[in-house]
Amino acid sequence: MADEKVVIGIDGGGTHTRVMVCDQTGKVLAYVSRGAASLYKDEAAADNVRGAIRSALEQADKSPGEIAGVAAGIAGLDAEEDLIWVRPLTEVPGLNCPQWHVNDAIVAHYGAFLAQPGIIVISGTGSIVLAIAEDGRPVRNYDFRHYAASAARFLAYDAVYETLAGRTDETDESLIAAMLAHWDVSAVSELYAFARDGFEDDRRSRDLRFGRFAPSVTAAAERGSSVARRVCDRAVDQIVVAIELLSPIFAADAVQVSLTGSVATSRYVSRALDERLRECRRKRFAVVPPQFSPAAGAVLLAMTRLGLPIDEAVAARMQEIRPSTC
């Protein structure tokens, strides 16, 4: 029966693919996490996404024929031509329902604000700032050819470069120790020699290794490391520029901002962003927690496209899985 069909929401990021299955009343039936969904980050992206869909359907005890619609937010989907590699990600045998593929920032925004006006800052494996104003049209910092280099790998690269350039002091001792351990060397001179040869030849594996070091950078900033704070403050400054760049599209003077991603939600960066945005004069910005996870946002997007009602009861059922667990 039609009312027994379910919807699938996919949050396909550069590190993880998260698939949520809900019934048409918003009850969460399954939630599965797998590897990256972006072909730019993982050659096995299609296997990751399809495997996550199959596992989620098995967990929900549903078949592909019982799916009413799929909404997928995919990192790296930035132009029409990207659909060539994006559409095959959700090609699971028997899955013949309507499917909507959008950039992962769209589903993150939808989850955070339920498609109401606001700005979503995504900074983790990748970085993007997306605004949806009163007219409902999404506008990204990318549209201005602006990029806030605040993704995890950039923080790590910058911290390493600052260290190799000798721009350290006594506050950076624990950061340096973590850095040497991460690259399995015993001295900064050894890391310098490794860096002089270009680190690793394969860009994917090199970026992945640097990205994994980012939590050490944000944690060191919290502890007072001069290098880590300079690096994080530069990232914060670029994010603030992106937010202020997008702010004129809003008619209202007050604009809500929500943060997602491992860098943006780290203690040091999130606090610094909140403080910097309070100082802005162009608009009155307020940092607010997301209402739902990006995966739940994808489900809500699918429900909207299918014409299903989204009311307080639906929201209450979906709140059973909070953003922090998705």
Same fold, 2-114+292-325 and 116-290: yes
Overall pTM surpassing 0.75 (yes/no): yes
Distance of CA 178 to the CA centre of its chain: 25
Domain ranges of the chain: 2-114+292-325, 116-290
Angstrom CA distances, 289 to 109, 257, 322, stand at: 11, 8, 11
Q: Which residue is listed with tokens 């090609």?
A: 91
Give pLDDT tens digits for 158-196.
999 999 999 999 999 999 999 999 999 999 999 999 999
Q: How do strand 6-12 and strand 67-74 relate by DSSP bridges?
A: parallel
Give the phi and the psi of residue 150 in degrees, each rounded to 5.
Answer: -120, 5
Quick one: the chain helix, strand, coil %, rounded to 5? 50, 20, 30
Banded pLDDT at 326 (limits 50, 70, 90): very low
Identify the CATH class of 2-114+292-325.
alpha beta
Instruction: Give per-residue pLDDT as tens, 2-61.
Output: 568 999 999 998 889 999 999 988 889 999 999 999 888 888 899 999 999 999 999 999
125 vs 156, 203, 258, 262, 297, CA distance in Å? 12, 14, 17, 8, 19
Provide, rounded to the nearest whole percent, the portion of the chain with pLDDT above 90: 81
For domain 116-290, give the CATH number: 3.30.420.40
